[in-house]
Structure 1
Amino acid sequence: IERKKGLDAALAANPDIKLLDFQVANWKSTEAFDLMGNLLTRFGDDIKGIWAANDDMGSGALEALRAENLAGKVPIVGVDGIKTAVDAVRTGEFACTVTSDPFWQGGMGLAIGYNAKIGKFDPAKEPPEHREFYGKAVLISHDNVEEYYKTNVESKPEIDWNDLWGRVTGAIRA
C-alpha cells in the first residue's frame, strides 16, 4: 500500500509521465512475466519504463523483455534489493532497485531486544521513533552498484550493532 502511494506521489509530481496501466502480479515473477507479455502486446513501443513494487515482479517483467530483445532498452525500477535485481542493475537491465536493508533490520531487531534485556535502555521511556520506525532505504543504481555489490553481496555488511538508532528515519506514520 505504501509503495503504491509512493508511485502515485511520484506520478503526481511528474505530470509529463503517463501511466499506461497498473496491474497486480501478486509479488510473483511468473505472474509478472505473463502480465508483461500482455502489456507488451497491448502497448508496444509506448512502454517507456516499468515500476515494480518488488524485485521479484521486476525480474519477471525483465524476462518478458528479454524474450522480446528489449532488456536494457526499457528501464525497470524494483524494490527490495535482491541479488537478481542488483545483478540486473550491474548489467543495465534494471535502472535501479531500492533496499530497506534486511540484514540491518533483522540484526537490529535482535540488538535492540538484547540491549533492552541487559538494561542499556528502557523501551517504555523511548520516543515513538525508537518504538516503531522506518529505517534508511538505499537506492542501488548504476552510480553505486559496484560498491554495494562488494560490501553487501560479496561480503557481509559492516554494521555497528551498538548504534541502535543511527539508521532510523522516523516513526511509522499511520
Structure 2
Amino acid sequence: MTTSERMKMAAGEWYTCIDPELEELRVAARDAVFEHNHLPPRQRGDIGPALRALLGGAGEGARIEGGFHCAYGFNLFLGDRAFLNAGCTILDTAPVRIGKGTLLGPNVQIYCAEHHREAAGRQAGLEIAKPVTIGDNVWIGGSAVILAGVSIGEGAIVGAAAVVTRDVPANATVVGNPARLAAHR
C-alpha cells in the first residue's frame, strides 16, 4: 500500500512538500486567504467565508485580521474569541490549536514544519510536521515566533519578538531569543 505525502505529513513522518496533492491544497488555501485579505472589512466579517470554510474549526467570535497567511488552513483550530492581529502567518503543516480568548499580536508567526538537517534532504523537500498548541487566554506579543512542537500553557504571556523554542508553562511569561522565563518585578 502506497502512503501519500499528505498521509505522511498528518502522521508526523518525514514527507516531501514537493508533491502535487500538497501543492493543490496550498493553492486552495492561498485562494481562501486572498479572498479574506481583500474583502472589505464589513463584508468579510470576523473571517472571510472561504477561509472560514477551509479552517479546521473557528469558535464563536474568533477573528482574523487582514494580512493573514496560512499554508493549508484545515489544520488551524481557533477557540471562541481567539484573535489574530494583522500580518499573522501560520504554517500549519500539523494541527495548530489556539485556545479561547487567546490574543496574537501583529506579525506573529507559527511554524509547524522542520526542514531536513542535511542539504540533500532539504533539496528533496523533506519536512517533518509537529503540532503547536496554545492554551486559553494566552497573550502573544507582536512579531513573536512559535516553533514546531511547542505548547504554550493557559494564561501565559509571550513577549513581543520572542522566539519560542520550548514549551511554556501555564501563567508564565517568556521573553527574548530564545524565549526564557521573565523575572517577576
TM superposition score normalised by structure 2: 0.27
Kindly indicate which of the two structures has a greater share of residues assigned to strand.
Answer: 2
- Higher relative contact order at CA 8 Å, sep ≥6: structure 1 or structure 2? 1
Determine which structure has the larger helix proportion and give its number.
1
Q: Please identify the structure whose Cα radius of gyration is greater.
A: 1
Q: TM-score, normalised by structure 1?
A: 0.28
